[in-house]
A = this chain, B = another copy of it.
Amino acid sequence: MERIGFVGTGVMGGSMAGHLLDAGYPLAVHNRTKERAAGLVERGAVWHDRPGSLAAASDVVITIVGFPADVEQVYLGADGVLAAMEPGSLAIDMTTSSPALARRLAEAGAERSITVLDAPVSGGDRGAREATLAIMVGGDDAGFRRALPVFEVMGGNIRHLGPAGAGQHTKMSNQIAIASGMMGVCEAMAYAGAAGLDPSAVLEAIETGAAGSWSLSNLMPRALRGDFAPGFKIKHFLKDLRIAIESAREMDLEFPGLATAIGLYERLEAVGRGEDGTQALLDLYRQRSA
């Protein structure tokens, strides 16, 4: 079996790497905060202090870190993985990151005969735990086929959407659809409450029809009972949305819905709610009407 090096063992990566261990892959791990990899090391993963030494000992490197700047550092930085990997090896960035950076990494890899795929996921911490993540893949065909058995250990709906950057672009489409959709469901629930109706009853009346959405049925019941614990944190959602609107602008696209949603989420972040789940947007509408 391929030797896998895993960089980024946080909430998402920790579960995903655990599945690889369970499947019997020899696993090397690195994380900015070493303690968060302790559970994996106890189960047999080999710790590396630096991404470079991990990469030199791996056939396949998987990364899932925070921001595009972190991705750039891990791949291209002073002790980065691309310089350390053997020709013929495979790197997969599963961070939600910028499509342009994904293309740059694929090009930088190709110069050294290293295949780099972009493969962001959706499905959250639960999808990671249950190995049901949607995995949206960009990059070359041979690389995708090689990675597929590894993806199948971590996810369910696995799709190859196109060349390098296509995975990130697909994830951006996903986040763009969610952004305005969240405004819609929060405005609908805020309206119902202000009109003196029971928002939960209204939700049940409308969720089965043309207003139905995952956000309405899954996030609004939590928000209506005051549960703002993150499935997905506002600060991470904003990171994704800023990449999306930047990427859209590079293509001369103007997305007023997305821009409006970003503005609202930035107001929430500005009042210290970046750690809340995205459903906390409902509070912004409620406060305005209070």
- With A211-B178, A212-B213 as known contacts, state yes or no: A161 contacts B256, CB within 8 Å: no
Is A134 in contact with B205, judged by CB distance below 8 angstroms?
A: yes
Residues of B within 8 A of A258 (CB): 187
**What is the distance, in angstroms, from A217's C-beta to the closest C-beta of chain B?**
9
Is A213 in contact with B181, judged by CB distance below 8 angstroms?
A: yes
Is A214 in contact with B213, judged by CB distance below 8 angstroms?
A: yes
With an 8 A cutoff between CB atoms, is A149 at the interface?
no
Is A205 in contact with B136, judged by CB distance below 8 angstroms?
A: yes
Contact code string A28-69 (vs B, CB < 8 Å = 1, else 0): 000000000000000000000000000000000000000000
With an 8 A cutoff between CB atoms, is A195 at the interface?
yes
- With A174-B210, A180-B183, A214-B209 as known contacts, state yes or no: A264 contacts B256, CB within 8 Å: yes
Do most interface residues of chain A lie in helix, strand or loop, or is the interface mixed?
A: helix
Is B184 in contact with A169, judged by CB distance below 8 angstroms?
A: no
With an 8 A cutoff between CB atoms, is A176 at the interface?
yes
Residues of B within 8 A of A136 (CB): 205-206
Which of B123, B197, B232 is within 8 Å of A161, CB to CB?
B197
Is A187 in contact with B289, judged by CB distance below 8 angstroms?
A: no
**What is the distance, in angstroms, from A38's C-beta to the closest C-beta of chain B?**
30
